[in-house]
Amino acid sequence: MNIGEAARLAFRGLRANKLRSGLTTLGIIIGVAAVIVLVALGNGIQSGFTESFGSLATQISVSANQEGTNGQPRDLTDADVDALADPADAPDVASATPTAGGPVTLQLPGGTQFRSSVVGTVSTYLDVTDRDLVVGRMFDEAERRAKVVVLAPGAVEDLFAGDAGAALGSEVRIGRTAFRVIGVVAATGQDDVVIMPLGTARSFLLGGGDSVSNVVVVAVSPEAVPAALTQVTTILDDRHDIDEPAERDYTATAQQSLLDQVNQTLSFLTLFTVAVAAISLIVGGIGVANIMLVTVTERTREIGIRKAIGARRRAILQQFLLESTFLAGFGGLVGILIGVGLSTAAAIALPQAVPDFPPPVVDVNSVIISFVISLLIGLVAGGYPANRAARLRPIEALRFQ
């Protein structure tokens, strides 16, 4: 018997029991579809995270510590910021953006109040931190000491009932000084701040001086972050007379390391959910093995007759292996169609229903691997029943009732 004839016999046997064959493939279908959908969801979440926080890949956060050399820490200053931005000493640093701040209370003329934090900074702050404006504009270099502010969504929600248009152009009082709202930024998680020019914050809220609380350093590229971090620490160690890293009165942290940790956690969660979905494939394989054993038992006399008239063991083995492989392979194909279809539909529907939820991204590798695994399950699950059928002795098979 050639492989073509064995395939025809196998297909005929499956077609004779359509309902049973369909139910047997159900476990494979569910398992393959679940793996594809969950991998697509995991990829979508990782892609969304990378898109939302990709700008952090080049950032280094520098903040002042309360402890430092000989117990006398130095503040970070404007001179430190200028040194970090000097291309002669820090060629891998693209920019250094200072911030200074503290707690404040915003108040409308009508008496409504909102407790917040002020961020005194420079005009490039929104570009560096990758924040977008909902309405209005950011202050420019000519407004270094102007009494203008840009509000985050939290303040707009409490003071203006969430109406960014109403907030634009309004006056808010911080302490004894009135400030004009010139912009509102989009929500990003840090939604209770008030952004104003650094000179303005120092003049009216934070007191004089040239100290800053944080510096956002941006490297020229993600690959240059380690070199930029080394240059930052070298410059600040020299300016602050620090000999040992343990004595530093500042902390410099590359945001890329935090992104890597989060991505690793997301990858582990994706693998875990895929492993749970793969249990369906195992259950489906057990179902295929069970049905094939039943099939062998039901067709014992047929096997005996075929062997009695000259069918070889190899022909019997081929037929039953092909039956189990057809079951698993067909289930894998249907599972792929369902999984890809659900993922594609979700990629279209989710952004409309839940704008903040990242759309799934189908991974071709997961599709191929799922289908290959379904075929392997068919071979493994059908191996024992097929071998059992092939080893039946004709005389014993013919006696079976």
- pLDDT, position 378: 80
- pLDDT, position 200: 92
In three state form, how does the secondary structure of the chain look?
Answer: CCHHHHHHHHHHHHHCCHHHHHHHHHHHHHHHHHHHHHHHHHHHHHHHHHHHHHHHHHEEEEEECCCCHHHCCCCEEHHHHHHHCCCCCCCCEEEEEEEEEEEEEEECCCCCEEEEEEEEECCCHHHHHCCCEEEECCCCHHHCCCCEEEECHHHHHHHHCCCHHHHCCCEEEECCEEEEEEEEECCCCCCCEEEEEHHHHHHHHHCCCCEECEEEEEECCHHHHHHHHHHHHHHHHHHCCCCCHHHCCEEEEEHHHHHHHHHHHHHHHHHHHHHHHHHHHHHHHHHHHHHHHHHHHHCHHHHHHHHHCCCCHHHHHHHHHHHHHHHHHHHHHHHHHHHHHHHHHHHHHHHHHCCCCCCCCCCHHHHHHHHHHHHHHHHHHHHHHHHHHHCCCHHHHHHCC
- pLDDT, position 273: 79
- pLDDT, position 13: 61
* 401 residues of the chain, pLDDT tens digit each: 556 655 665 566 666 667 777 777 888 888 888 889 888 888 888 787 777 666 677 888 898 886 655 556 678 899 999 999 999 989 999 999 999 988 888 988 877 888 888 999 999 999 888 888 999 999 998 998 899 999 998 889 888 888 888 999 999 999 889 999 999 998 876 678 899 999 999 988 887 788 898 999 999 888 888 899 999 999 999 988 888 888 888 888 887 777 777 778 888 888 887 787 778 778 877 887 777 777 766 666 666 776 676 667 777 777 777 777 888 888 889 999 999 999 999 888 888 887 778 888 888 888 888 888 888 888 787 777 767 766 767 666 555 54
- pLDDT, position 199: 92
